[in-house]
Amino acid sequence: MKSRSDKLKRLVAVQRHLEQMAESELAETARQRRELADTIDVVADAMGSAKPLHAMFSGHYASQLGRLAQKDQMLLGIQEVHEARVLKERAKGDRLEENMKDARMAEDREETDNAIYDLVDQQIMMAPPASGKVGKS
């Protein structure tokens, strides 16, 4: 039968894995936002370009820039949700780890107490009787 600390240790490992998954989702969202920011810069540069080809498409660039800004806002919201999830998963993991350490300390304390009780019991059983009359018949 597994001890409470062993069960909590396994839960801590699972929780840390969930935390890593949340962190990778956050990193992916941040990467998408960086790529989107680069695209926004390219479109903004094209809008401001003095080349006649770009001037013909300035209306298209403006609408594209609006869509890109909207997508950036959406990704920002997703990123904030992922950040909150990472913090929540990390807090859960820390709490479980603390409970695991407390359980391990309690188990170690109980084991030490039981060893001391066993020693005391052995000493009592090996000690001669309190009176010499008790052992003689």
- pLDDT average per 10 residues of sequence, the chain (137 residues): 90 96 97 96 85 79 92 97 97 96 95 92 79 58
What is the pLDDT, as a whole number, of residue 126? 85
What is the pLDDT, as a whole number, of residue 130? 64
Q: 0.85 exceeded by the pTM?
A: no
Asked if 43 and 65 touch (Cβ cutoff 8 Å), the reply is: yes
Task: Estimate the crossing angle of helix 58-126 against helix 4-47, to 10 degrees.
Answer: 170
For the chain, the structural domain boundaries read 4-100
Phi-psi category of residue 129: left, alpha or beta, with phi > 0 → left and psi -120 to 50 → alpha: beta
What is the pLDDT, as a whole number, of residue 53? 75
- Gap between the Cα atoms of 89 and 76, Å rounded: 20
- Gap between the Cα atoms of 124 and 128, Å rounded: 9
What is the pLDDT, as a whole number, of residue 125? 86
- Gap between the Cα atoms of 48 and 78, Å rounded: 30
What is the pLDDT, as a whole number, of residue 131? 65
CB under 8 Å, gap of 24 or more: what pairs does 45-50 form? none
How far lies 48's CA from each of 43, 52, 53, 108, in Å? Answer: 9, 11, 12, 71
